[in-house]
Amino acid sequence: MPAQSVKEYYSRSIFIPFNNNIISQLNDRFVMYQDITDTISLLLPCERELVKYQIEGFLKLVRFYNMDLHKCKCVIMEVELKEWSHYSNETTSRIPPPTVRDALGQCDKNFYPNIFILLHVFVTLPVMTITSEK
């Protein structure tokens, strides 16, 4: 079907394929890490008990960052997460820290060494912002 105008021609031949390419690249870059980054919220104190799927997500996170963590088994990491969750819920006075950086300030490096490392990793992850140009 031929284009009705020059604008429509360039939209079909350049703009739309370019946008589709950008969307595809963003999906390739970020979607595969979505499961990993979704578990960041597990390290922030909350008033609810951890459930099985959250612990499984945390263990995926542990396997992903295993080179950065102290050498230990998944069982130990699960216990450390539960202890951290219990401790942080007790000390937050019903106002949980809103950011990972605040949680890092509350985390004792000696008692929760792996949680501290994970929080530190998440604090130092680069933040990306995109602005459109006119």
Structural contact between residues 43 and 84, judged by C-beta atoms closer than 8 angstroms: yes
The count of structural domains within the chain is 1
What pLDDT score was predicted for residue 4? 85
What pLDDT score was predicted for residue 35? 67
Per-block mean pLDDT, blocks of 10 residues, the chain (134 long): 80 84 82 70 70 81 84 83 80 66 86 90 68 54
Q: What is the pTM of this model?
A: 0.65
What pLDDT score was predicted for residue 26? 81
Structural contact between residues 62 and 74, judged by C-beta atoms closer than 8 angstroms: yes
* CB-side neighbour CA atoms (13 Å) of 42: 26
Write out the residue range of the structural domain in which residue 55 sits. Answer: 1-134
